[in-house]
Structure 1
C-alpha cells in the first residue's frame, strides 16, 4: 500500500464536499469575495553579478525572493533553489502577476533544489527539470520524477542531509498533498531549515498556523530569518486549515523566535479570493498592532536580496 501521511494533529485534507462548496457552490451562489486577477507588485532587477558568487563561509546567507514561495538561498559556497516556479503559468491557465525575480536563463549554477510538497505552485516540474540540480524533498516524492532523471533525496520530518558544507533539515508543516486523482496524502509535505557556518534560515513551505512552529523554534533556536507565507487565505473558513493569514504569520514568527520575518506566498499567482496586494497591508497593520520593532520585518520586492547572518 502507498504511504499515507497526516499532520501532527492527526488531520488530513479537506473532504470533497467542503472543497466542492468552496470551489463551486459558494461561487455559483455569489458568496465568494471578488477581486481582480492582477495588482501592482514591486519588482526590482536583481544584482546578477552578486548572485553569480554565493557567500563564502562566515559571510552569512543571501536570500533572494523570486516570487510566490520561490527563493534563491546562497551560503557557504552553495546556491539552493526552494520551490522554484519560474514559468509564466501554473496548471496551464493561472498566469503570473509579476515576472520572476530571476528568470531561468539568468540563474547562477544551482547546487540543489528543495521542494516542500507536490502542489503545482510549489513543484513546477519543467522548472525543476530545466534547472537540473539534485532534489531534496519529502518522503514519496520520487514517484513524480522519471527514474534516474535527477538525484532525489527524500526526507522524513526532522530528517537531514548535507549539501556541501550546508545542512538541510526537513521539518513539519500543517498542510496536505495531492497532484493527481489517486495520490491524496501519499507524499509528505513540510518546510526546510537551512544551516551554514554563519546563518540558519527557515522556509515554511505551504502551511496553516499550527503548534509545530514552537517545536521548530525549540529545535532550531536563534534562526536568522523565517520565510513565511502571508497570502492565499480567503475565504478563511476554508483556507485556514492549509494556509496562514498575515496575522497568523506574525504569530508563527513569534513562536519560532526568529530574528527576521520575510514575507512570501503573495502577489504572484491569484489562487484565492483576497486581492493580490492585500496581504502586506494586513501584515503591516498587525505588526503595528503588536508594536513590534520595524527592523526585523521585510516585505522584499520580487528580485530583491537580503543578507542575514548570526548575531
Structure 2
C-alpha cells in the first residue's frame, strides 16, 4: 500500500531535483554554512526534576525529539539520541543525556525518516515502552523485538496509560530504503490529559490540515512546530515549513504557544543552523503576537506545562 497526502498534487522530491539541489544547479544558492560547531542554547539537565514525576513538563532534546511528562507518564516523541544519522553528524548534544532520562512509558514516532526514527536509540529504549507508530510501520517494530506496538492511521485516537493520543495528518512523505517510498504513513500527534492539549506536527509542509486540527481539538496549549530545513524553498517548501509558515500554522491551529523544533541539530539543508530562530523572531514581530506565546526553548530546558494553561 502507498500512502498519500491530503493534497493530491504533492510529490516527494525526485532524484533529479535532489541532484540539482546538491550540485547547486539552481538560483537559490547560499554560501556554505557550518554543519557542526554552531552554538545552540543549552541547559544542563541532570534529570533530578524529571525523575520526580510530580510536575507536567516538556523538554526539547533536539531536532524533533521531546520528552513529555503528563500525569506521571513519560512520553518520548521522535527520540534521536545518536551523535550521527548516517553520514550527518550531530551539531549539539541531546538536551537530556541517557543517564538523566527517566523511565519511558510511551514512544511516539511521527514517520520513518532517520532524524525522527533512529534505530540505535530505539534499541536502547528496548521493548518495555508502548510504541505508537504510523500505519505501515508496525511490522518493522514487531520484527525488531518491539512487542507493544499500536499502529495508527490519521485521526485515530487511542487511550494509553490514561492519555488520549490522536495521530493527525501532516504534509510529508516516508522512505527508509530503496523500494519503500510512502509504504508507511507520516503525521503528527495530539496528546490530551485533564484539559491539557499538546500538538507535535512531525515534519510537514504548509497545508490546510492545520486549520482542520485546530477546529477538531479546540484550544491547543502548546504546538511543537518545525522551523528549520527550509532552504532552498523551491526544493524544501512542499515538505518543510519555514519560520514564517510556522507562525501562520500556530495561528491556524489556534494554539496558545509555539515551541519551535527541527533546527540546530542536524544540517539537512542550506540555511545556517542558527538562522531559523532569528527569522522566527522577525516573523513574530511582523504579526505582533504576544511575547509570552513564543517559547524558544534551550536544549534540556524544562518547560512547566501548568504555565501554559
Q: Distance in 1 between matches of 2:292 and 2:46?
A: 23
Structure 2 equivalent of residue 130 of structure 1: 124
Structure 2 Cα separation of the partners of residues 194 and 305 of structure 1: 18
Q: Residue 49 of structure 1 aligns to a residue in which SS?
A: coil
The alignment's TM-score, normalised by the length of structure 2, stands at 0.94
How many angstroms does 1:197 deviate by?
1.2
TM-score w.r.t. the length of structure 1 is 0.93
**Shift, 1:296, TM fit:** 0.9
**Count of paired positions:** 303
User: Does the Cα contact within 8 Å between 1:209 and 1:244 map onto a contact in 2?
Assistant: yes
Distance 1:5 1:21 in 2: 26
Aligned residues of 1:26 and 1:32 also touching (Cα < 8 A): no
Instruction: Verify the 8 A CA contact 1:232 1:274 in the aligned structure 2.
Output: yes
- Asked if the contact 2:46–2:100 (Cα under 8 Å) also holds between the matched residues in 1, the reply is no
Find the partner of 1:77 among 68, 72, 79. Answer: 72
Q: Would you identify which runs of 4 or more consecutive aligned residues in structure 1 move more than 6 Å? A: none
* Map 1:269-284 → 2, pairs under 5 A: 269-284=266-281
- In 1: Cα distance, 2:289 partner to 2:46 partner: 30
In the alignment, the residues of structure 2 paired with residue 168 and residue 239 of structure 1 have an alpha-carbon distance, to the nearest angstrom, of 29
CA distance in 2, matches of 1:303, 1:196: 23
CA distance in 1, matches of 2:290, 2:258: 11
Structure 1 match to 2:297: 300
Distance 1:231 1:30, change over 3 A: closer
Partner of 2:112: 118
Is this contact kept in 2: 1:169–1:194, CA < 8 A?
A: yes
Structure 2 partner of 1:14: 13
Question: Kindly tell me: are residues 122 and 148 of structure 1, through their superposed partners in 2, closer, same or farther at Cα, counting changes over 3 Å?
Answer: closer
Matches within 5 A, 1:185-200: 185-200=182-197
Q: Distance in 1 between matches of 2:135 and 2:171?
A: 16
Contact 1:83 1:114 (8 Å CA) reproduced: yes
Distance in 1 between residues matched to 2:39 and 2:144, nearest whole Å:
41
Query: Deviations 1:124-146 (Å, cap 9, x if unpaired)?
Result: 01101211222101100023335
Q: Where does the alignment leave 5 or more consecutive residues of structure 2 unmatched?
A: none
Superposed CA offset, 1:47-76 (max 9, x none)? 511101334xxx6x3100001100000101
Matched, 1:289 2:286: yes
- Residue in 1 that maps onto 2:143: 147
Separation in 2 of the partners of 1:180 and 1:295? 42
Give SS of 1:153's match.
strand
Superposed counterparts of 1:78-93, under 5 Å: 78-91=73-86, 93=87
Partner deviation per Cα, 1:224-282 (whole Å, 9 max, x = no partner): 10000000000011000100110000000000001111010000111111000000000
1:94 aligns with 88
Q: Which residue of 2 aligns with 1:48?
A: 47
CA distance in 2, matches of 1:164, 1:265: 28
Gap change, CA 1:274 and 1:101, over 3 Å in 2: same
For 1:64, the equivalent position in structure 2 comes to 59
What runs of 5+ residues in structure 1 fail to find an aligned partner? none
